[in-house]
Amino acid sequence: MILTTRLLTLAALAVVASAVSVQLVPPALRGVPNSVSEDTPDLEGRLTDIDTIVSTAQIVEQKDGPTADSPPNQPISDTVVTAVDGELTEAGAATPSNSTSNGRRTLPKKRRAVSDYNLVFSGTGTRSTDRDASIQGTAYLTFRVIDNSTYNVDACLDFCSSEPKCVFANLYYEFNNERLDHFDREKSNLKCAIYGDVHTAVEKTNFGGQQSYSTGNSLTYIQQSSGWASKDLLEPDVPEGYELVFGPLDGANNAPGYMGFAFLDKYDVDACARECNRRGADGNGGACQYFNIWRAVVSGVPTTYTCSMYFIVADASTAVNTGQGDLKVTFSRGYSRKNYLIDGGFEGYTECASFCFTESYTNWVASSPAGGYLDASVFYFKTYARNGHGSALLGSATFADDKSGTLSVAQPLKTEAGKKYQVAFFQNSAFSGPTFQAKSIVQVLWNGKVVETIKPGFTTWKFHSVDVVAVGNDILAFSGGSAPAWTFLDDVSLWPLFQ
């Protein structure tokens, strides 16, 4: 049933007297809200804070590599955050330590062969006077000692190929290391360290010099340090609950809806997605809906991995930040959060050019209790919407009664049984002013059961969320409104949750 101001029924017109009695013009008659929201997304001044990202990248320290006393064959550590919104974490203020990984790991799509690697730099030799250095770089994963009966490049590259995140291997001898000579079962001083990023000879900064033996004055030293890089860098899997928007490019987003950033110690899209999921909701824009991950190269050296977050989905058109000064942007990718809800902004209702409303349409179905009239509806009217032209109304649009209506998705949701999801939405109960809106109420229903009750009172657009567990083919609905305590809804989302 489609209703417009020209097609109001006689019953609707008859209740205008009720509205006049309290000096209110109801939404169905194009009433003017008591308070026009100032909480729509603030795009001005909310662009990416490039200056803070660049300045923080100049001071973060997240280079790492095997130490003289670290044991081989340690599990790859979880990705850690080294800075948040310009403030260094403990991990970013000093060389990160290695901890056991509990993160989700993906299997390699194709096992690489030795021929799939290129030599990046060679060692300096193995004469008694030759000295070299190993890599201290970003995205360090772990190391293994290799049989030192020969300088076994193949074994080292096979090790790298066995780890899904490895794209670079540093093979070198480390002498005067008591652990390698006596305690580790391999009894080999040929180390193979692997990394999740490609490094160059400029980053050969670990020359040894540590006292390893308990007696004597011999210090560790390094020889024949070579580096090998995969010819094809790995394409990361798309994180659960997200879609790839663009990338890789050599430009980061400079986009509206910016919420802040985190530095990661590895180029890890899953970790960036978790940061986006965990980011606190913005007062104006709501939850994080998009992230941009990219590698910062400072003076030719990989330095950190930026995860910028946004409440507005960006695209490649704003990926224009190629860097500042000696910082260059590389491997920039953008990912948007999947909304499992069809038409959460009610933009699919397009039966007019400026003002109209309906009880139901293709994507949403409204119902009223016995004796109620138009107690839930969908409007095409920019003034009532948070974004665009569409919004939903709970409460009699004509002020015919004070009953609560229900608005439900028209089709079951394509959810997966047993998985957790987050229902997120914006709510506005400011139409009638503080007095009449005092008893405003909104209930979130999941498969017919109330999972959240909100009594917002008088408020302009405000973000809310509630976590639910799917049984499959779930039904989401909203109930509430009690004219003149009308409640508008907009920008409803359903996102899968994962840790």
Dmax (CA) of the chain = 103
Buried b (16+ CB within 10 A) or exposed e, 375-393: bbbbbbbebbbbbebbbbb
pTM score, whole prediction: 0.85
CB burial of residue 430 (10 Å; 0-12, 13-18, 19+): buried
State how far the Cα of 449 lies from the Cα of 427, in Å rounded to an integer: 20
Non-local (6+) Cβ contacts of 109 within 8 A are 234
pLDDT of residue 67: 85
Buried b (16+ CB within 10 A) or exposed e, 322-338: ebeeebbbbbbbbbbbb
AA letter at 105:
R
pLDDT of residue 8: 44
DSSP string, 21-38: HTT---GGGTPPPSS--S
Rg of the chain (C-alpha set): 30
pLDDT of residue 125: 87
pLDDT of residue 393: 97
If you ran DSSP here, which 8-state letter would residue 137 be given?
B
Non-local (6+) Cβ contacts of 179 within 8 A are 68, 69, 71, 212
Count of C-beta atoms within a 10 Å radius of residue 253: 30
Tell me, rounded to whole angstroms, the distance of Cα 486 from its chain centroid.
34
pLDDT of residue 43: 56
pLDDT of residue 35: 66
> Between β-strands 81-84 and 476-480, what pairing exists: parallel, antiparallel or unpaired?
unpaired
AA letter at 351:
E
Non-local (6+) Cβ contacts of 171 within 8 A are 146, 151, 152, 153, 156, 190, 191, 192, 193, 224, 225, 226, 227, 228
The torsion region of residue 161 among left (phi > 0), alpha (psi -120 to 50) and beta comes to: alpha
> Coil, helix or strand for 114?
helix
> Between β-strands 405-409 and 476-480, what pairing exists: parallel, antiparallel or unpaired?
antiparallel
Contact call for residues 396 and 355 (beta carbons, < 8 A): no
State how far the Cα of 360 lies from the Cα of 368, in Å rounded to an integer: 11
Q: Is the peptide bond before 248 cis (omega within 30 degrees of 0)?
A: yes
Nearest to 307 by CA among 325, 326, 328, 288: 288
State how far the Cα of 162 lies from the Cα of 194, in Å rounded to an integer: 11
Q: What are phi and psi of 76, to 5 degrees?
A: -65, 135
Strands across the sheet containing 476-480: 364-367, 405-409, 476-480, 442-446, 449-454
The C-alpha angle 466, 444, 35, rounded to 5 degrees, equals: 95
Q: Which residues pair with 146 in a beta bridge?
A: 190
Q: Which residues pair with 170 in a beta bridge?
A: 193, 227
Nearest to 228 by CA among 192, 277, 270, 258: 192
Contact call for residues 143 and 76 (beta carbons, < 8 A): no
pLDDT < 50: residue spans in the chain: 1-21, 37-39, 96-109
Nearest to 438 by CA among 383, 390, 484, 382: 484
Measured torsion, CA atoms of residues 432, 436, 439, 442, in degrees rounded to the nearest 10: -10
Domains in the chain, CATH or no CATH each: 2-32+342-496 (2.60.120.260), 47-68+77-106+237-338 (no CATH), 108-230 (no CATH)
pLDDT of residue 44: 57
Nearest to 175 by CA among 210, 125, 227: 210
Half-sphere exposure of residue 405: CA atoms within 13 angstroms, side-chain side: 34
Q: Which residue has the tokens 């509806």?
A: 377
